[in-house]
Structure 1
């Protein structure tokens, strides 16, 4: 039972993480669509490896990225990594420490994997994660949250998908000082972005056998912005009569999630609410260290990522848990339709954690990153 729920949560064995091309083949730029088609085509050709961008990140990022590479080698995954690191100087073309060449790599390859990247607070430059989302138009963040067999938490059989609008809302970055001591932040909600993420959520639900989509909002207070978001969700819901649609105020949603996560299936929401709710859902199943994530962009781009922090306090100490990045890499493989490889790696991760012999400190064990990774390879 637990494994059936787990497989349903991570997605159909034959269905990839959906890209915009599945929803509207004419959307996005020609080059982006071509990148996706070429990547998928190469997935069926054992002779040619698939080129994917890898951002190891900082802090514990390089260590857990190495775990992914080691597991992929053991599983003989046909991936050729193109690695890009965070620069030490701001690139004026991106206004951040991510270079234009790094972004171009993702655009050309159409697929990538990102480790944690820390952006210093209050330093006056653009967030690294925000740069990726805005420049690559990664409009939907898809985060499955499901209970891992053999790892006990306060909740059993959690099986949720949060889909977060990724490009606007309070994260539009439009802030200014009105007068001294008074600052103003603009929340941007557009019809185009709202329809796009709503369409993605409903199509995801239909394709992955989900029965309910819940739109999370605060339209009782923010009647114009969240009101527009709900209007777009309702419009899309009419095209999917087989999917149950509901609207839940965000504060009530938080309470309901903590009381009974089984009340929800797929949740779709604006940017800030998605940031909060997806972390709350991660807490239900053991934390961000166990939660995979994938960003979907126009033109067929998919950038999987570990959404936890860079944990500089344990960086270089061989203590980090690579599970989140490994499971995110699995979603990347499913996106590329490398389902057999994805299944093998996914099952090896689950079996290692369930067995309990090798677990990192955050999972209650004493194993190092290297030992945990080797145990996963042994299960392959």
Structure 2
């Protein structure tokens, strides 16, 4: 069978890294029927809409999307398309794994963390007001009991499926008594349903410090939208940066897998971008679809290629082009599948 999936190449380096990632995914032997669609700055310049109706209709049909980075204007212009997609399809769970690869020159070895971020509420709900007379801007961090319950339960269930042993809930309940307090109390309630997973909590500022001192002490983390956005980037920095970490956005019946790094228009078209983040997102997509052997082949292939510095892209000290790196990973994927 073939999996129907919406393919969004994205802006800047997006088409290059997506092409490399698709090559790697298809090397597993898992078949996809790709519906190529546009979104982001390129779509806005072409048709005046950064998220065309055709793209929404495609995801509505496939319930599965694989996408490259999109450009979002800073301060003005249209809102983040990534946020719009997550909210439109109620993709309430953002999963951000951070695992050390060889030769990434990160500050730590042996990091293996999983972060679960609430993806539709909090400050990212976009509820803002501006009092022009008094020059006061307000943003409302909206949290619902249902929203808290589903991300925390999702984190426990997914951690359990992955064989994780500990889940740390990150909050700011000492200051944000209502929103943070509710998130923490619900976490404690749900923890009793998962006695096989150790549960604890940390205040977010303390957690940020602990992660940069001894990240190996942690396993899985669940937190709210804004804190998750910040901590997930911090965690990526522990293993080499956003260019080597994947991302998944999961809802009840829809999922989008994407690179979370920027579109890097300054190097677009030069064939020097590192496609690892998108490849790892593809690995997550295969895992989500139940194609565990294929996902493991991609994971092992990345470790194989990263063990040979000459096969890496320029950002990691190698000389490989984007396409050549993708070819090298695809070759190792086929070897693992055949083994």
Alignment-derived partner of residue 88 in structure 1: 44
* 1:333 lines up with 2:286 in the alignment: yes
Cα separation, 2, equivalents of 1:72 and 1:196? 30
What is residue 71 of structure 2 aligned with on the other side?
118
**Alignment partners' CA distance in 2, 1:66 and 1:290:** 16
1:241 to 162, 182, 195: 195
CA distance in 2, matches of 1:154, 1:331: 25
SS class of match (1:230): helix
Partner of 1:174 in structure 2?
Answer: 127
Normalising by structure 1, we get a TM-score of: 0.83
Deviates more, 1:61-70 or 1:194-203: 61-70
- For the Cα contact (< 8 Å) 1:154–1:284, is it kept in 2? yes
Which sits farther off after the overlay, 163-172 or 331-340?
A: 331-340
Q: Find the aligned partners of 1:149 and 1:123 in 2 and give their Cα distance.
A: 40
Is 1:223 the equivalent of 2:174?
no
Match of 1:314 in 2: 267
Aligned to 2:232: 278
CA RMSD between the two structures: 1.7
How far 1:127 moved relative to its partner? 1.5
Question: Counting strand residues as a fraction of each chain, which structure ranks higher?
Answer: 2
Match of 1:190 in 2: 144
Q: How far did 1:104 drift?
A: 2.5
Give TM-score, length-normalised by structure 2.
0.93
1:156 to 76, 85, 109: 109
Q: Distance in 2 between matches of 1:247 and 1:318?
A: 43
The equivalent residue for 2:337 is: none
Other structure's SS at 1:50 match: strand
8 Å contact from structure 2 (residues 114, 219) kept in 1: yes
Report the Cα distance in structure 1 between the residues aligned to 2:177 and 2:26, rounded to whole angstroms.
52
Is the aligned partner of 1:261 residue 2:212? Answer: no
Over 3 Å counting, the alpha-carbon distance change for 1:226 and 1:91 in structure 2 is farther
| Unaligned stretches of 5+ residues in structure 2 | 335-339
Contact 1:219 1:249 in 2 (8 A): yes
Partners of 2:168 and 2:298 lie apart in 1 by 31
**Preserved CA contact (<8 Å) 2:309 2:317:** no
Report the CA distance shift for 1:372/1:165 in structure 2 as closer, same or farther (over 3 A). Answer: same
* Offset, 1:62: 0.5
CA distance in 1 between partners of 2:196 and 2:140 (Å): 36
Show structure 1 runs of 4+ deviating over 4 A: 89-92
In structure 2, how many angstroms separate the alpha carbons of the residues matched to 1:360 and 1:149? 13
* Residue in structure 2 matched with residue 28 of structure 1 by the alignment: none
The answer to whether 1:133 aligns with 2:86 is yes
Matches within 5 A, 1:19-98: 48-86=1-39, 87-88=43-44, 97-98=50-51
1:265-310 per-residue CA deviation (whole Å, 9 max, x = no partner) reads: 1110000000000000000000011101111112x21211111111
Aligned length: 329
| Structure 1 spans left out of the alignment, 5+ residues | 1-47
TM-superposed CA distance for 1:180, in Å, is: 4.1
